[in-house]
């Protein structure tokens, strides 16, 4: 027997309608590249979304067409996030941090038909425009940057649409958005979200034990809207009616702290690097910012060391550690303490909070090795596999990547992790970054986090370098704090407290900075390339297993 419940599809229309009905006065704050602020309200934005959806259909947009954006984070980008899928299209944010030829590859692979581009990104567009075949391009005035005469304008497009435009009915499994993973190996791959997955993921982000986004929150989306589905925030904030604060390009740590203070921010999200910067700014100017109350910092993309969590706590910035990826929309796990852990001492609690946490509702996890499933003992690492209604089932037009999914329908994340008996995931490494030394696995991430707790270290990356006897050995690339000095022996001693001798890097080299991907993660492939021929300065006499 079937349930006798209404067949109401889960589509983005209901999120927008809720903001229009109940939160028309709530603001979306956009910081322009020059640091000035513009403000719009959900009521006005919703009306503009209706106009944009109408205008796109009039411009010839057909069901399933991809419309690319090349935009920073701001209210107009939010309009595109809704209007494109609600007109039957698929919103496809392009990452302006990539090389122009890579952007062109992605736009071609996606089959993008139209483009919305910020005026300040027009010069970038011109660098790849001859490599793509976009039918129409509309320019959004963000920074007042000059664009060639005759180019169509975003505001003109909008003015051709009607505010009372009625969205066509959609199937909840229709595609709504497309995002490419900025993989460090192989060609970028496209993930295609459905209306259903976006709605379920938005609900998940609003649940009390994940991020608990509420209409009483002001949410600072530091993670850019072209990255990993905007972390799901554009949709979940509209669903909740939360104030949204969107910093564009060129927003430094002090600027972020200014926004948190000035806009009464209660939630912010970013990769750890951003919070390292904020912490430095706070240390330099301890009384410089006053926050209204504790701020939840959602951190993902890389593991924050316990020291970062501890130090930010002192400033009222409470890190919530989550894990996910483009393929998981992204929320998959959240590092909340359980009730019975609340009375534990700080040390143990920080240890838990530096793990990636346990699965969000409706998300299943397992750890796999070639020989089968790995027990949740907190010790045995395996590759993390994930399954759930907001997890990708394949990439767009990439049959060569089908091996990323198991025969029984799980996604192979490429992350190596342990899971403890309480269910907390601890990422050990990316499968490709793991250091395989004499048959044993050494986690580059564990070493990095330990090194970053050393007072002289600002950042550290640990990579595998080839070794004639052990196959691979770890090498640490260290960036010192301003004015600090240290020598490798100090680090060896520092690490010896926590690591077996065979796990300690063979060398510590100093660098001015760690190369990064377009979204701020360590670009270890570049380091591996750079240090491919590195060998220890002196004969290596230490005993290794």
Catalytic annotation, residues: 181, 327, 436, 441
Distance between CA atoms of residues 6 and 104, nearest Å: 43
Q: From the CB of 423, what's the least distance to a second copy, in Å?
A: 4
Q: Verify binding: residue 380, a second copy, rule CB under 8 A.
A: no
Distance between CA atoms of residues 56 and 58, nearest Å: 5
Q: Verify binding: residue 8, a second copy, rule CB under 8 A.
A: yes
The residue among 23 and 122 lying less far from a second copy, judged by its C-beta, is 23
Pick the stretch among 10-18, 295-303, 429-437, 536-544 that binds a second copy (CB under 8 A).
10-18
Distance between CA atoms of residues 418 and 445, nearest Å: 13
β-partners of residue 462 are 476
Q: Residue 190 is encoded by which pair of tokens?
A: 């496209």
DSSP code of residue 304: P
Mark 447-466 with x for binding to a second copy (rule: CB under 8 A) and - for no binding: --------------------
Nearest to 50 by CA among 88, 87, 19, 24: 87
**Strand residues in 32-153 grouped as ranges (E):** 37-41, 66-70, 90-93, 114-118, 136-140, 152-153
Q: Verify binding: residue 7, a second copy, rule CB under 8 A.
A: yes
The residue among 408 and 497 lying less far from a second copy, judged by its C-beta, is 408
Q: Verify binding: residue 361, a second copy, rule CB under 8 A.
A: yes
Q: Verify binding: residue 262, a second copy, rule CB under 8 A.
A: no
Query: Quick check: helix, strand or coil at residue 3?
Result: coil
Interacting residues of 200 by C-beta distance below 8 A, sequence separation 6+: 10, 362, 389, 390
Which of the residues 333 through 352 are near a second copy (CB under 8 A)? 336, 338-340
Judged by CB under 8 A, the residue of 129, 141, 184, 214 near a second copy is 214
Cβ 225 vs Cβ 245: under 8 Å = no
Q: Verify binding: residue 56, a second copy, rule CB under 8 A.
A: no
Q: Verify binding: residue 203, a second copy, rule CB under 8 A.
A: yes
Q: From the CB of 364, what's the least distance to a second copy, in Å?
A: 7
Q: From the CB of 268, what's the least distance to a second copy, in Å?
A: 16
Q: Verify binding: residue 17, a second copy, rule CB under 8 A.
A: yes
The residue among 53 and 392 lying less far from a second copy, judged by its C-beta, is 392
Judged by CB under 8 A, the residue of 195, 227, 492, 524 near a second copy is 195
Burial of 286 (0-12, 13-18, 19+ CB in 10 A): exposed
Judged by CB under 8 A, the residue of 216, 406, 471, 490 near a second copy is 216
The residue among 176 and 434 lying less far from a second copy, judged by its C-beta, is 176
Pick the stretch among 157-165, 383-391, 472-480, 516-524 that binds a second copy (CB under 8 A).
383-391
Distance between CA atoms of residues 43 and 49, nearest Å: 10
Burial of 435 (0-12, 13-18, 19+ CB in 10 A): buried
Mark 276-315 with x for binding to a second copy (rule: CB under 8 A) and - for no binding: ----------------------------------------
Judged by CB under 8 A, the residue of 4, 402, 538, 541 near a second copy is 4
Interacting residues of 51 by C-beta distance below 8 A, sequence separation 6+: 158, 159, 160, 161, 162, 163, 165
* Burial call 387-411: b when 16+ CB within 10 Å, e when fewer: bbebbbebbbeeeebeebbeeeebb
DSSP code of residue 316: T
Q: Verify binding: residue 356, a second copy, rule CB under 8 A.
A: no
Pick the stretch among 9-17, 96-104, 114-122, 436-444 that binds a second copy (CB under 8 A).
9-17
The residue among 119 and 327 lying less far from a second copy, judged by its C-beta, is 327
Q: Verify binding: residue 435, a second copy, rule CB under 8 A.
A: no
Judged by CB under 8 A, the residue of 49, 83, 90, 504 near a second copy is 90
How big is the site for a second copy, counted in residues (CB under 8 A)? 70
The residue among 45 and 204 lying less far from a second copy, judged by its C-beta, is 204
Cβ 7 vs Cβ 241: under 8 Å = no
Q: Verify binding: residue 206, a second copy, rule CB under 8 A.
A: yes
Q: Verify binding: residue 22, a second copy, rule CB under 8 A.
A: yes
Pick the stretch among 6-14, 252-260, 468-476, 485-493 that binds a second copy (CB under 8 A).
6-14
Q: From the CB of 381, what's the least distance to a second copy, in Å?
A: 19
Cβ 101 vs Cβ 128: under 8 Å = yes
Query: Quick check: helix, strand or coil at residue 260?
Result: helix
Look-up of token digits 């040390």: 347
Q: From the CB of 355, what's the least distance to a second copy, in Å?
A: 13
Cβ 405 vs Cβ 393: under 8 Å = yes
Cβ 266 vs Cβ 237: under 8 Å = no
Burial of 337 (0-12, 13-18, 19+ CB in 10 A): middle
Distance between CA atoms of residues 477 and 299, nearest Å: 23
Q: Verify binding: residue 6, a second copy, rule CB under 8 A.
A: yes
Query: Quick check: helix, strand or coil at residue 39?
Result: strand
Q: From the CB of 424, what's the least distance to a second copy, in Å?
A: 9
Q: Verify binding: residue 422, a second copy, rule CB under 8 A.
A: yes
Half-sphere exposure of 276 (CA within 13 A, CB side): 19
Positions touching a second copy (CB under 8 A) are 1-8, 10, 14-15, 17-18, 21-23, 25, 63-64, 90, 173-176, 191-197, 199-200, 203-204, 206-209, 212-216, 239-241, 336, 338-340, 358-359, 361-362, 364, 387-396, 409, 411, 422-423
């Amino acid at each position: 027997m079937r349930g006798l419940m209404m067949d109401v599809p889960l589509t983005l229309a209901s999120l927008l309608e809720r903001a229009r009905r109940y939160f028309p006065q709530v603001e979306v704050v956009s910081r322009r590249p020059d640091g000035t602020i513009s403000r719009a309200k959900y009521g006005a934005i919703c009306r503009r979304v209706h106009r944009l959806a109408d205008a796109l259909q009039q411009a010839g947009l057909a069901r399933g067409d991809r419309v690319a954006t090349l935009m920073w984070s701001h209210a107009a980008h939010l309009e595109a996030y809704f209007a494109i899928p609600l007109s039957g299209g698929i919103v496809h944010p392009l990452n302006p941090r990539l090389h122009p030829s890579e952007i062109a590859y992605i736009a071609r692979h996606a089959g993008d038909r139209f483009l919305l581009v910020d005026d300040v990104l027009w010069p970038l567009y011109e660098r790849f425009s001859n490599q793509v075949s976009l039918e129409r391009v509309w320019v959004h005035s963000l920074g007042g940057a000059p664009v060639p005469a005759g180019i169509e304008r975003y505001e003109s497009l909008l003015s051709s649409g009607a505010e009372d435009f009625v969205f066509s009915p959609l199937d909840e499994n229709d595609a709504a958005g497309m995002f490419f993973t900025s993989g460090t190996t192989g060609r970028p791959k496209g993930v295609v979200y459905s209306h259903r997955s976006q709605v379920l993921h938005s609900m998940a982000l609003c649940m009390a034990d994940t991020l608990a986004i509420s209409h009483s929150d002001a949410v600072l989306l530091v993670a850019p809207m072209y990255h990993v589905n905007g972390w799901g925030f554009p949709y979940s904030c509209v669903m909740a009616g939360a104030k949204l604060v969107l910093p564009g390009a060129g927003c430094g740590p002090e600027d972020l702290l200014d926004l948190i203070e000035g806009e009464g921010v209660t939630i912010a999200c970013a990769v750890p690097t951003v919070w390292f910067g904020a912490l430095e700014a706070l240390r330099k100017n301890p009384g410089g910012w006053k926050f209204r109350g504790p701020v939840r910092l959602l951190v993902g993309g890389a593991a924050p060391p316990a020291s970062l969590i501890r130090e930010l706590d002192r400033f009222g910035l409470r890190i919530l550690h989550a894990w996910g990826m483009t393929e998981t929309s992204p929320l998959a796990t959240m590092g909340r303490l359980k009730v019975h852990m609340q009375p534990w001492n700080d040390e143990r609690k920080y240890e838990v909070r530096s793990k990636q946490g346990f699965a969000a509702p409706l998300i299943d996890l397992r750890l796999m090795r070639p020989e089968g499933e790995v027990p949740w003992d907190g010790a045995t690492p395996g590759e993390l596999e994930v399954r759930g209604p907001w997890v990708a089932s394949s990439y767009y037009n990439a049959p060569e990547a089908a091996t990323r999914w198991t025969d029984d329908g799980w996604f192979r994340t490429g992350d190596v992790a342990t899971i403890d008996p309480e269910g907390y995931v601890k990422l050990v490494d990316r499968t490709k970054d793991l250091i395989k030394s004499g048959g044993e696995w050494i986690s580059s991430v564990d070493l990095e986090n330990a090194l970053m707790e050393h007072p002289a270290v600002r950042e550290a990356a640990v990579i595998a370098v080839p070794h004639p006897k052990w196959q691979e050995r770890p090498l640490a690339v260290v960036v010192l704090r301003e004015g600090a000095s240290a020598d490798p022996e100090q680090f060896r001693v520092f690490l010896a407290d926590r690591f077996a001798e065979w796990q300690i890097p063979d060398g510590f080299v100093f660098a001015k900075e760690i190369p990064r991907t377009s979204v701020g993660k360590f670009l270890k492939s570049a380091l591996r390339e750079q240090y491919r021929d590195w060998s220890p300065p002196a004969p290596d006499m230490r005993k290794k297993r």
